[in-house]
Chains A and B, each alone.
Chain A
Amino acid sequence: MSISREHELHHRRFGRNLGVALTLAAFIVLVFALTIAKVSGGGMIEAFDHTYRPALDPAVNPDLRRE
């Protein structure tokens, strides 16, 4: 008597695992695309430490200018 690997249970589990894998792959693609969209369409991107920050420069940011 040989062990059959083609039991219906294996097919069902394979379908479930494939579904989870595809869902995760789709989620990764979505997050990646969202990141690209946010970065390319986003506002000012700047470093935070020991560097010039345009957002804090009154000459660049009108919100910081005093009357």
Chain B
Amino acid sequence: MTDIRAELDIRDSEPEAGFGDYVQLLKPRVMSLVVFTALVGLLVAPVSLHPVEALASIIFIALGAGASGALNMWWDADIDRVMRRTARRPVPSGRVTPGEALGLGLGLSLISVLMLGLAANWLAAGLLAFTIFFYAVIYSIWLKRSTPQNIVIGGAAGAFPPMIGWVVATGHVGIEAVLMFALIFMWTPPHFWALALFMKDDYGKAGVPMLTVTHGRRVTRAQILAYTLALVPVALWVGFTSIGGPVYLAVALALNSVFAWGAVGLWRRGEEAAGLDSYRAEKRFFRFSLLYLFGHFAALLAEATPWAGLLRAQFTLWGGA
């Protein structure tokens, strides 16, 4: 009896993972964005899929994203421990061992890729496998600690889901899929650099060569503006493809105007002014960047509805009259 109590006391002092900790390893917030963009890529494609096949494909794409999140947490445990934002993650806090995170990541990678191949097609499965490899190896292991361009190139990993969704439905990569990829790819740098502007100490302490650390905030602000201006034509171009239309163009025009204006504001802002109001404009720009991406994909989804089709027909009618 005493032995059992002693064992329980020892176990009490060691943090033991609950089911929620393993869910946290899969980065559920990132997964929700992946699910949304992949779903839009799938639904806007001009091929209809059996609902069960579509649901299964989205679940396996989400699992693949979760797998790459677990692999990222396994590799980055040392720097996550140093950064305030990530110190409470399951691996750095000691609730999950690095080996468990690696095992979960590898296992889910295998299951998600195989099952997506069986549920949809092998091109989609290949793209998912490449995405996991890109995020875990190219971004997490290689680029993140070696170059300030880490999130520029690494952003490709987050840009693949809508392309995979499109390939699940159509079986091939079209211009629409490439443009949806480009939209997220070009959006990633301003989004993360805005975050880095008000989290600089975190990245500096962890030794992650973010642009703010290696080149300073002045350069980062200029780069945010440059990438935002380069993003605008990409976002508008989507509107002139088969998945775009008047609804998307109206939303894109509004969102891009506000986003570009915000980037100009950040570029003109000095560090003193930013420090005085605790980086309010930078935080606002970061929050708006989330709305920006959501808005574009929601507008694409709206374009795929029959009502948008009616509106498009009306425009064509006016154009022909």
| Residue positions of A touching B, CB distance < 8 A | 1, 3, 7-9, 12-13, 15-16, 18-20, 30-31, 33-34, 36-38, 41
Could you say which residues of chain B place their CB within 8 Å of the CB of A30?
55-56, 59
What separation, in Å, do the CA atoms of A18 and B144 have in the docked complex? 37
Q: Which of B15-23, B68-76, B267-275 contacts A (4 or more CB under 8 A)?
A: B15-23
Q: Is the CB of B18 within 8 A of A41?
A: no
Could you say which residues of chain A place their CB within 8 Å of the CB of B52?
33-34, 36-37
Q: Select B19's contact among A8, A9, A19, beta carbons within 8 Å.
A: A19
Q: From DSSP, what is the main secondary structure of chain B's interface residues?
A: helix
Interface size class of B (residues with CB under 8 A): 20 to 34
21 of the cross-chain contacts (CB-CB < 8 Å) are A1-B1, A8-B12, A9-B8, A9-B11, A9-B12, A9-B16, A12-B16, A13-B16, A15-B18, A15-B19, A16-B17, A16-B18, A18-B19, A19-B19, A30-B55, A30-B59, A31-B115, A34-B52, A34-B118, A37-B50, A41-B50
Q: Is the CB of B50 within 8 A of A16?
A: no
Q: Which residue of B lies closest to A33 (CB)?
A: B52
Q: From DSSP, what is the main secondary structure of chain A's interface residues?
A: helix
Q: Is the CB of B19 within 8 A of A34?
A: no
Interface string of B1-38 (1 = CB under 8 A from A): 10011001001100011111011000000000000000
Q: Is the CB of B1 within 8 A of A3?
A: yes
Q: Is the CB of A16 within 8 A of B59?
A: no
Could you say which residues of chain B place their CB within 8 Å of the CB of A16?
17-19, 22
Could you say which residues of chain B place their CB within 8 Å of the CB of A19?
19-20, 22-23
What separation, in Å, do the CA atoms of A20 and B21 have in the docked complex? 12
What separation, in Å, do the CA atoms of A41 and B51 have in the docked complex? 11
Q: Does B65 contact A (CB under 8 A)?
A: no
Could you say which residues of chain B place their CB within 8 Å of the CB of A33?
52, 56
Given contact pairs A1-B1, A3-B1, A34-B56, A12 touches B50 in the complex (Cβ within 8 A): no
What separation, in Å, do the CA atoms of A9 and B23 have in the docked complex? 19
Could you say which residues of chain B place their CB within 8 Å of the CB of A15?
18-19
